[in-house]
A and B are shown apart, each in its own frame.
Chain A
């Protein structure tokens, strides 16, 4: 299985490859990708150099152009496609069907991956992307169990890629409007969930209060582990008391499920976190490279070593081992 690793900067791209990434995914420094954060991402020139570096080391670069174009400025997204192809991207990761159509018509030889943002979670939806646009791989949403992944992988004629580590979207990807509700900006359109411009932290004797777009979404006691300031991981007061409703602050860690994912026929494993620093990239990529190697020689993977990098200092296998419906 291929190890697909995130990079938000050229330095992170080099770290990922040094740590054992087979491929690195990244995006341009604008709203055409779902990690449009301040100070993050690649200029055209940086992408070209990043691709040259990756190729010199036998690694591949996948360019995420996975937000949904605005009707008034489709050209921005089309230009991103043209520039990524021109720079020599090994694949484009796309969510919008209009943009996939553009890729298929304008750059018929270009390898196309269906982004997790497309939320293609059943064989019929995936077949549509494969038959209509020639998609070669689908990144499956994080709502499926391992047995569902196995079934889908058997039924579709393209490769499947799944997340093995990092932040979790608990809503159907590409459909979540929580951030839009609170801030007017969403990962789907502007490429950022809970934008930093709308986040405020306040330190008091009771701990840290986090606010998003004026809504108080959590308060962490001084030593309590914290998570991202997203509404899906907000703590709500209801008649039943205070607590998390959608999801606790927690990160996905599927280290223990790698063998099952291999048996399921998955082609590639993806690490979330283009917004994270080099220290995260290096440790997490190295961990999964080692875990894949130890799986080959039958020894035990090192479980739990990534805890310092997790939201809420806690991990879950999420829907992969689903006991509910």
Chain B
């Protein structure tokens, strides 16, 4: 199987991130001194990972996370999406070993608390981003998200 081209994914998700940060200024406030941290996010069930920065908003899709980032977060895609939407509790995922973090733990906590307060609805954000294509995109996203795992809490 040919690996997925990452550039288009990076462009779409980068735009998505910038939009989310613009619509939720409180996120940056809660990130505080950690707003410039570089986070490596690795969905353990996907063949690629992301490097995410909040200020300025930047997202790169990579096959392997490089060393030297401020913090590394890995979990299944279902759990990562659920965390971003506040549908699971980060500490509970840590306790059940469904989430691992390394590097600057303070930066990860700030990010998690900022995201949890923002009450993000990724499907709705996607719909807004894509304008006329928004509604079908929202429905497709919800379908994919819900098919990933019935119970993200237990997904590893």
Chain A residues packing against B (C-beta within 8 Å): 8-12, 37-40, 195-197, 199-203, 208, 220, 222-228, 249, 275-280, 308-313
Contacts and interface: CB of A to CB of B under 8 A. Distances in A.
B31 interface: yes
A208 B100 CA distance: 8
- Give the dominant DSSP class at B's interface: helix
Given A278-B116, A311-B95, A313-B95, A201 B101 contact: yes
Contacts of B117: 9-12, 39
B95 A203 contact: no
B32 A280 contact: no
Given A38-B106, A39-B109, A277-B89, A12 B100 contact: no
Contacts of B118: 11
A308 B153 contact: yes
B10 to A, nearest CB: 26
A253 B110 CA distance: 27
B88 interface: yes
A224 B116 CA distance: 26
Contacts of A223: 97
A309 B106 contact: no
A9 B113 contact: yes
Most B Cβ at <10 Å: residue of A39, A208, A312: A39
Contact of A226 (B34, B87, B94, B154): B94
Contacts of A278: 86, 89, 116, 119
Interface residues on B, range: 35 or more
A208 B105 CA distance: 14
B97 A225 contact: yes
A14 B89 CA distance: 16
Interface string B80-92: 0001001111111
Contacts of A40: 109, 113
A312 B92 CA distance: 9
A225 B114 CA distance: 26
A178 B14 CA distance: 43
Given A38-B106, A39-B110, A276 B100 contact: no
